[in-house]
Amino acid sequence: MPDKETREKRRHSTPFIPYSSYECRIPEYFSNVPMHWHGEFELNYILNGKGEFICGNKKFTAGKGDLLILPPNMLHAAYPYRNGSLVYHALVFHPNMLGVNSNDRCTTECIRPIMNNRFEINNPIRPDSDSYPQLRASVKQIFSCVISGEPRQDLLLKSELLRLFWLLEKDDTLICKMQQKTDYGEIIRPALCYMAENFRENISLDGLAALVHLSKSYFMGCFKKAVGVGAMEHLTQLRINAACESLSDTDMSVADIAFHCGYNNLSNFNRHFKRLVGCPPLEYRKRTKALLFSRSSD
């Protein structure tokens, strides 16, 4: 398991509010969700579009109505399907919401085996699953609690999260014993961590391979199998996603943002940005600020 220093830097939960909720819109808000992990569970409910997901050793396509439930520390990523759009709700919540500190039998036999990778949830959960109507109703209740923002709704949120896992447990097709196979994600995890923390610096394939004590060719193969794209393409995604955040949240010039995100050549930055996002940086800034303004006015 990764330690605190190797996890995603964004803080999703605090002791006072042990969860965070997001609306993910690809490519409106960012071009993709690069490979990452965090110490919380994550629940995704796809509202529209279709995406290509990597969750641990699984790679699959998921679309409208599909549910994903990810355990803590699982490597995961999301990409638009064939340059289309993808919209989904995401709830990232601390295991404490499931009473993980308890030593009772339901925690010991049902929750911890999922957290410890002894058992896995069969993602994605699709609308043709026998348990889907009940699961979807539970998920909608969960996000309704989150949107309300009221402290008392956290009581219902906790109970509904436990109900969600009860529904998973009572369906023998949704949770299974983890299959033993080569975990390429674990092999390259130190390199992923290094890239996430240092993407603004000069990074080479030779240096990344040396970091995980592999030959360059074997490292490249492991990385592609785990992440779905090559290491240099993943680095580009990290840089462009950081640029998207800066364009949306600051008034920095495009040149300063490019330099801040690891580019020494503005034309290279513009080319990579347009390829991944679908429009030039200034047009992206205009679109996202207009979108955020319209949503705040609703």
pLDDT for res 125: 98
Q: What is the pTM of this model?
A: 0.85
With contact defined as beta carbons under 8 Å apart, do 188 and 196 qualify?
A: no
Flag whether pLDDT at 5 surpasses 70: no
Q: Number of folded domains in the chain?
A: 2
Do residues 87 and 125 both lie within one domain? yes
d(CA 229, CA 214): 18
pLDDT for res 293: 59
Do residues 108 and 250 both lie within one domain? no
pLDDT for res 51: 97
φ/ψ region of 271 (left if φ > 0, alpha if ψ in -120 to 50, else beta) reads alpha
Do residues 149 and 196 both lie within one domain? no
Which residues make Cβ contacts (< 8 Å) with residue 288, sequence separation at least 6?
A: 28, 29, 244, 247, 248
Do residues 82 and 21 both lie within one domain? yes
Which of 146, 177, 208 is where one domain is finished? 177
pLDDT for res 294: 63
Which residues make Cβ contacts (< 8 Å) with residue 200, sequence separation at least 6?
A: 239, 242, 260, 261, 262
Q: Look up the domain containing 194 and give its range.
A: 184-297
* Residues above pLDDT 70, as percent of the chain: 94
Which of 116, 144, 177 is where one domain is finished? 177
Q: Look at residue 177 and give its three-state secondary structure.
A: strand
d(CA 186, CA 54): 14
